[in-house]
Structure formats: C-alpha cells, structure tokens
C-alpha cells in the first residue's frame, strides 16, 4: 500500500514538473516571439548603413536588424542620398516601413522588391534596377510610379491603383500592354518591344510616349483628352486622330505611314512626321496654322490629299 502511494506520488510529481516545464517553455517562446517582433531583419549592409546615416536605424550599428518602431516612424524613405547608388541588392525589411508615402530606390542592384506592406505609398521611384516582376496590387494610393530601365515584361495590380496619374515603364521588355485606370494622365513606354497597346480604358490620358517600339497599329479614339502623342520610330502605316481634338503635339517620325489627316486637330501646334518614306501629303483644313512643322523634303501640308 505504501509502495503504491509512493508510485502515485512520483507520477504526480512528474506530471506537475512536465506542466511546469511546458509552461516555462511556452512563456520563453512567447517572450522570444515578442522580442523578435520588436525587430526587422535588414540583410543588406548598404541598406542598413543608409538607414543609420539618415538617423532611422537608431542603434547605429550594422547588425542586420533595426527596431520596428523606428521604421514605423518614417513616412518618406529616400535611398538615393549620399551617393549610395548601385550598392543595395536586397530590400528585405522594407515591409516594416508601413507608413511611408514616398519610396525612392533608384539606381540600385535590386532584382525584386515586395511593397505589399507599404500600402500608403503614393510615390514610387524604382528606375535603373534589374526588376523582372513587380506587384502593385496592394498599393492602391499610388499617384506616381517610375519603373523605367528595368527588365520588366509585366506589372501586376495596376488596376487597383485607382488614383494613378503618371506611370513610366520606358526601357523595359513589354511586348503588349493594357491599362484600365480612368485616373491615369501620363504614360511613358518608350524603348520596349510593344506590338500592341490597349488604352481604351484610360480616357483621361493627356500624354503618351511610345517611341522605339514595334507598333504597326494603334487606336486612341477613346482618349479625347490627349494633348501630347509621341510615337516615332515604330511601324505605323496609318493613324486616325479624329477623336483627339485637344492634340497639340504629335511626333510620328520614322514610321511607315502612307497617309495622315490632321485637319480635325485644330489645337495642333507642333507636328513632326519626317522620315515616313511613303507619306507625301499631310492633310490639313483651310486656314489651319501649325506653329512648328518638321517634314522631309518630299512632304507637304495640303488641303487636298489624294
């Protein structure tokens, strides 16, 4: 009987000890989690040095971490200060900067970036990097995005950026492109590989830059606010500008056009259509004056083009 009681007592002590150990481990784990949550991981030493130089990383030491609360105090992050161009390769830690409205990380060595946690961004500069993909679906407050000179073939989530005004994707590798933002006013996509572009769902576009692509046909009839259209060095054979009454600047040099009618574009003040070998006559209306005209020697403006 005594032996049995001792055995039961031992079992009880083991059980209590186990509960105590589990509770202790649980508390220790929770403590570690809370401690880890205080810090952001900063893997790139150049990134961390810039944060230190700007007084953002307040511990002042390159130790691959910074206080999360330091990051949350920042609303403008410019990583192009102090001649640190071309040094940052990894922006891990940017997810902790949840209150920034401005981010500039131009001219670095970034091959990817995750800005899904930076939901307050309205201005984004990522030009001159090596990005191949970019997801902006969580950046619904974006007004301006410059992502030129990268290696992009697509960009995800633009339709969510319902306040977007200016988008620069020049010097990338897009082959086709469409955008459904009624807010956008300025689109720059020169020096890509575009064979098609659909801007029918962007009625408020004021300026479009599409030079040096592979476009053979375009349709801007749904862009009545268009004031500037630069589409030189493509493969255009024809373009209808009747739906663009506000057009002031039209540059279409070095294409393959055989006819052009600008008689309905009475706001036009600068016309450049030289180096279209089969375009001899550009139709205007009687009395229409265009302040600046650039033509090849075989071209002329005329009211009657056969």
pLDDT (tens digit per residue) in 212-254? 999 999 999 999 999 999 999 999 999 999 999 999 999 999 9
Q: Tell me the pLDDT tens digit for each residue of 121-159.
A: 999 999 999 999 999 999 999 999 999 999 999 999 999
Domain count, the chain: 2
Residue 147 counted as domain residue: yes
CATH code of the domain covering residue 263: 3.80.10.10
197 HSE (CA, 13 A, CB side): 28
**Whether residue 148 sits in one domain with residue 218:** yes
- Looking at the fold, whether 156 and 16 belong to one and the same domain comes out as no
Cα(24)–Cα(288) distance, integer angstroms: 87
Which position has the token pair 């083991």? 14
> Could you tell me if 216 and 238 are in contact, meaning their C-beta atoms sit under 8 angstroms apart?
no
Does the residue 184 lie in any domain?
Answer: yes
Counting every residue, how long is the chain? Answer: 306
Indicate whether 56 belongs to any domain: no
Confidence class for position 59, pLDDT limits 50, 70, 90 = very high
Q: What is the pLDDT of residue 35?
A: 52
Per-residue confidence (pLDDT) for residue 19, from 0 to 100: 46
Please give the Cα distance from 284 to 162 (Å, whole number): 38
Q: Verify that 10 and 120 share a domain, yes or no.
A: no
203 and 297, same domain (yes or no)? yes
Q: What is the pLDDT of residue 296?
A: 97
Looking at the structure, do residues 21 and 91 belong to the same domain, yes or no?
Answer: no
Mean pLDDT of 294-298: 97
- Residue 255 inside a domain? The answer is yes
pLDDT of the residue at 22: 52
Does 156 share its domain with 277? yes
Do 282 and 306 touch, CB atoms closer than 8 A? no
Distance CA 211, CA 252 (A): 8
146/255 same-domain check? yes
Say how many C-beta atoms besides its own lie within 10 A of residue 68's C-beta: 17
pLDDT of residue 32: 45
- Domain assignment present for residue 267? The answer is yes
Q: Please say whether the beta carbons of 207 and 189 come within 8 A.
A: no
Share of the chain above pLDDT 70, in %: 87
Check the CA dihedral 256-259-265-268 and report its sign: positive
**pLDDT at 9 (0 to 100):** 46
Say yes or no to pLDDT of 75 above 80.
yes
The verdict on residue 53 lying in a domain is no
Q: What percent of the chain has pLDDT over 90?
A: 85
Same domain, 118 and 13: no
User: 99 and 203, same structural domain?
Assistant: yes
Place of tokens 């949350």: 72
32/82 same-domain check: no
Same domain? 89 vs 214: yes
Is residue 46 in a domain? no
Check residue 82 and give its pLDDT: 66
Give pLDDT, residue 99.
98
The first and second tokens of residue 189, run together, are 């996509």
- Which pLDDT band holds residue 81 (cuts at 50, 70, 90)? confident
Domain identity same for 192 and 261:
yes
Domain residues for the domain of 16 are: 1-37
**Top-confidence residue, 264 or 16:** 264
Considering the domain boundaries, does residue 44 fall inside one?
no
């Amino acid at each position: 009987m005594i032996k049995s009681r001792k055995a039961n007592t031992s079992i009880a002590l083991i059980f209590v000890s186990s509960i105590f150990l589990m509770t202790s481990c649980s508390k220790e784990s929770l403590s570690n989690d809370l401690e880890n949550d205080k810090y952001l991981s900063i893997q790139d030493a150049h990134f961390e040095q810039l944060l230190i130089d700007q007084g953002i990383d307040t511990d002042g030491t390159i130790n691959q971490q910074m206080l999360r609360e330091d990051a949350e105090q920042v609303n403008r992050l410019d990583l192009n200060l102090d001649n640190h161009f071309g040094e940052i390769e990894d922006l891990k830690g940017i997810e902790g900067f949840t209150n920034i409205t401005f981010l500039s990380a131009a001219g670095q060595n970034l091959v990817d970036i995750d800005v899904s946690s930076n939901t307050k961004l309205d201005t984004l500069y990522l030009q001159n990097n090596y990005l191949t993909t970019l997801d902006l679906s969580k950046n619904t407050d974006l007004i301006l995005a410059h992502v030129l000179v990268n290696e992009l073939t697509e960009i995800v989530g633009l339709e969510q950026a319902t306040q977007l005004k200016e988008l620069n994707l020049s010097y990338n590798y897009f082959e086709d492109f469409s955008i459904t933002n009624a807010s956008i006013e300025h689109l720059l996509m020169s020096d890509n590989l575009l064979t098609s572009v659909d801007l029918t769902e962007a009625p408020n576009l004021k300026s479009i830059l599409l030079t040096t692509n592979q476009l053979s046909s375009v349709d801007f009839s749904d862009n009545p606010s268009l004031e500037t259209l630069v589409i030189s060095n493509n493969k255009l054979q024809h373009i209808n500008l009747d739906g663009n009454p506000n057009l002031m600047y039209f540059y279409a040099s070095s294409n393959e056009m055989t006819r052009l009618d600008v008689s309905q574009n009475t706001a036009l003040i600068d016309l450049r259509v030289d180096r279209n070998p089969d375009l001899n006559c550009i139709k205007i209306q009687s009395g229409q004056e265009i302040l600046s005209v650039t033509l090849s020697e075989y071209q002329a403006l005329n009211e009657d083009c056969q």
